[in-house]
Amino acid sequence: MSAPFTTPDQIRRLFAQAMSRMYRTEVPLYGTLVELVERINAQVLADDPALAAQLRRNGERERLDEERHGAIRVGTAEELATLRRLFAVMGMQPVGYYDLSVAGVPVHSTAFRPLTAEALAQNPFRVFTSLLRLELIDDAALRAQAAEILGRRRIFTPQALALIEQAEREGGLGQADAERFVAEALETFRWHGDATVSLPTYHALHDAHRLIADVVSFRGPHINHLTPRTLDIDAAQAGMVDAGIAAKAVIEGPPRRACPILLRQTSFKALEEQVHFPDGQGGAQGRHTARFGEIEQRGLALTPKGRALYDQLLAQAREIEGTGSTGGDYGTRLQAVFASFPDDHATLRQEGLGYYRYQLTDAGHAEPHRVADLPAEVLVASGLATADPIVYEDFLPVSAAGIFQSNLGGEEQRAYAAHANREAFEAALGAKVHDEFALYEGLQAQSLAALRTP
Ligand code: OOG
Ligand code: NI
């Protein structure tokens, strides 16, 4: 008789915890961020009992202390497709397509994450995963050399590959195999202080784009940051500055609001690290910047209508005086422009700008007949139901580009003529990416249906 299966949710939790432990030893400043965020979250929850109750109602309170996202960058279609299978063992599916070439970063990306409300509440670990677009390297010889180097490396251990196949074949992993799987999977994301290319090759790749050197020169796709979720990112940003951490100048995303929307993010600059470059003799010492720390605050998931308004206002704030997100008064400009985005939940709901989760209150449960007949908005207005924001679980391309830029360690700006190529990305992935809006719509619809079947 074979051992009972663990669930994908349990494996994901083990993996997220193991990644967090590993990154803490690799980048101790990440541990400092985690502690800062824990302090701030405890304070916010103590000061705001209504928010604490809302998080509890929506399964967000338990997950908060463990909530992280990470990011990696891979070089080939085969690497990406195998990652998809590896993440699937942990219940993580590709959601969304992000084209970063428009922002001068030669990658396109997706986020692997759990899909259902239950799985997200168990552990929402997400990994922002980028695929290098070698076709954006102009120099044909360098492009061929990079492809050849990437074609030689093996980023998964044989045991990890065997366990992925076993999980696919048997429909899951037993406890002992799940633990082995997590240990083997971790190997793919570990940092390697020794490069696989010589220093001159590294420089040539680096001159094409820093990111190309980061992807091509190493044995694997080292995790480049892990991000805890805070309930007050302005306090976290101030806390970083107070602690003498080299924080990014501006917080990416929307401004501070009464009703937080989407995602706000800030980071500390990537560390400069010693790397050993082989040359067939003693090798050479060099330096590389790759790994950093980030903090995020998550808010309401927006509908396509809300998202279009967000994109329009963000573009407007960045275009004023043509200064992008630079300039000391960016925060003020952003606040001013976003004054036209409604900032109370009743209006956001009525204008169809965001997704909400409806649940009966005790009063609602006591009156099933009234509940059956009344529209959801009336139930909320009469205290028979609550409507809580469905949290945004995804990423924002303009913000991601800002995070990439501030962590490439350098001022360089590139422009690529290329445009989004979702078909090529999905062909490399070996699957279609899920549509984030459909997922939020489904969560909202599910909660509305449950109101009528108490
Ligand atoms: C990913 C940067 C994007 C985010 O949170 O938007 C990102 C990377 O640097 O590889 O992590
Ligand atoms: Ni990130």
- Residues 145-163, buried b or exposed e (16+ Cβ, 10 A)? bbbebbeeeebbbeebeeb
Write down the pLDDT at residue 199.
96
Write down the pLDDT at residue 373.
82
Q: How many other CB atoms are there within 10 angstroms of residue 118's CB atom?
A: 10
How far apart, in whole angstroms, are the C-alpha atoms of residue 120 and residue 4? 23
435 C-alpha to ligand 2 centroid (Å): 20
Are 194 and 278 a contacting pair, CB within 8 Å? yes
Nearest bound ligand to the CA of residue 401: 1
Of all protein residues, whose CA lies closest to atom 5 belonging to ligand 1? 400
How far apart, in whole angstroms, are the C-alpha atoms of residue 4 and residue 220? 32
Are 146 and 212 a contacting pair, CB within 8 Å? yes
Q: Please give the average per-residue pLDDT across 366-370, as a whole number.
A: 87
User: If pLDDT is split at 50, 70 and 90, which confidence band does 104 have?
Assistant: confident
Mean pLDDT of the chain: 92
Compute and round to an integer the Cα radius of gyration of the chain. 23
In this prediction the pTM is 0.95
Q: Please give the average per-residue pLDDT across 116-145, as a whole number.
A: 94
Are 443 and 117 a contacting pair, CB within 8 Å? yes
Ligand 1 site, residue 128, Cβ cutoff 6 A? yes
User: Does the pLDDT value for residue 113 go beyond 50?
Assistant: yes
Pocket test for ligand 1, best of 128, 130, 393, 398 (most atoms within 8 A of CB): 128
User: If pLDDT is split at 50, 70 and 90, which confidence band does 233 have?
Assistant: very high
Question: Higher pLDDT residue, 337 or 370?
Answer: 337
Please tell me the class of the 8-301+393-430 domain: alpha beta
Give the list of residues 6+ apart from residue 427 with CB closer than 8 angstroms, or none. Answer: 77
> Sign of the C-alpha dihedral, residues 310, 312, 317, 323?
positive
Write down the pLDDT at residue 1.
45
Ligand 1 site, residue 20, Cβ cutoff 6 A? no
Q: Please give the average per-residue pLDDT across 18-22, as a whole number.
A: 96
Digit-coded pLDDT (tens) for 339-363:
999 999 999 999 999 999 999 999 9
396 C-alpha to ligand 1 centroid (Å): 9
Each domain of the chain, given as residue ranges in start order, spans 8-301+393-430
Pair of tokens at residue 306: 């809300």
Of all protein residues, whose CA lies closest to atom 3 belonging to ligand 1? 400
User: Does the pLDDT value for residue 419 go beyond 80?
Assistant: no
User: How many Cα atoms are found within 13 Å in the side-chain-facing hemisphere of 189?
Assistant: 28
User: If pLDDT is split at 50, 70 and 90, which confidence band does 119 have?
Assistant: very high
User: Does the pLDDT value for residue 273 go beyond 70?
Assistant: yes
How far apart, in whole angstroms, are the C-alpha atoms of residue 440 and residue 298? 14
